[in-house]
Amino acid sequence: MPTPPAQPTHPNPPPTHSSPPAQPAHANPPTHPSPLTPPRKLLLGVSGSVAALGLPGYLYAFRAAGVSEIIAVVTTSALQFLPVTGLAALCDRVCTDGDSSLGHVALARWAEHTLVLPATAHLLGCLANGLAPSLLATTLLAVDGPVTLAPAMNAAMWRRPAVRRNVATLRADGHQVIDPVPGAVYEVASRAVVAGIAVPPPAVVLERISA
């Protein structure tokens, strides 16, 4: 009985499943977020908290990131912690309640971004309720541009319903409020460093005020 003819063999049979061609290593380079652009003209509000003692570190960071002009508006209570001379070396101008040479409307129009650091519970309450007992509070009410608030206060105060309502109102009004973070803070009442809440570090604040 004759045998069937042998089937031809292929030295390199075609694959049964096709696969996409390999991409060169440089075809899809990794993407990186675009660098932040800080405001060129920053209006800095300073209210009366011991956290004002840490302002120089923030100002150094802002200058290093490209903020070219800084005008500080300081409340009378803030001057107990950081005198004008302590800010003048790092700011282009320092305005206080007794300084009438530059009014609140001019300050508000000058700013590209307004940052209040530190922002006390009193300052938050004034802005949330439209009160203007100081040059800083009056200026904030006149600002049409972006406003960022960095609260600094005792943790128990931060939890109070009245403060939480004010924060909610400020956010609903379009203001940016940076939540404080857990950390070691100096407590004036006890003259000791205690566990509490603090303004986030300069890098975080800089990111929040940048475009």
CA neighbor of 199 nearest in space, from 139, 136, 115: 115
Of 90, 87, 83, 95, nearest to 68 (Cα)?
90
DSSP code of 38?
-
Strand partners, 193: 186
Closest C-alpha among 110, 119, 104 to residue 46: 119
* CA distance linking residue 134 with residue 117, whole number of Å: 16
pTM: 0.83
For residue 108, the model assigns a pLDDT of 98
Q: Does the pLDDT of residue 13 top 60, yes or no? A: no
Residues 6 or more apart in contact with residue 197 via CB below 8 angstroms: 153, 155, 158, 180, 181, 182, 183, 185
**H-helix or E-strand containing 192?**
strand 192-198
Query: No. of H helices and E strands in the chain?
Result: 8, 8
Instruction: Determine the topology of domain 41-209 in CATH.
Output: Rossmann fold (3.40.50)
Tell me the pLDDT tens digit for each residue of 51-74. Answer: 999 999 999 999 999 999 999 999
Given a cut of 80, whether residue 153 has pLDDT beyond it is yes
Antiparallel, parallel or unpaired: β 93-95 and 69-74:
parallel
What is the tens place of the pLDDT at every residue in 102-151? 899 999 999 999 999 999 999 999 999 999 999 999 999 999 999 999 99
pLDDT value at 160 more than 80: yes
Catalytic residue at 122?
A: no
Contact status, residue 149 vs residue 122, Cβ threshold 8 Å: no
If one counts every other C-beta atom within 10 angstroms of the C-beta of residue 45, the result is: 32
The pairing of beta strand 176-177 with beta strand 181-187: unpaired
Count of other CB atoms within 10 angstroms of residue 74: 28
Contact 79, 96 (CB under 8 A): yes
Residue type, 132: A
Active-site pick, 17, 104, 122, 175: 104
Confidence of residue 98 (pLDDT cuts 50, 70, 90): confident
What kind and span of H or E run contains 55?
Answer: helix 55-65
Q: How far apart are CA 107 and CA 34, in angstroms?
A: 30
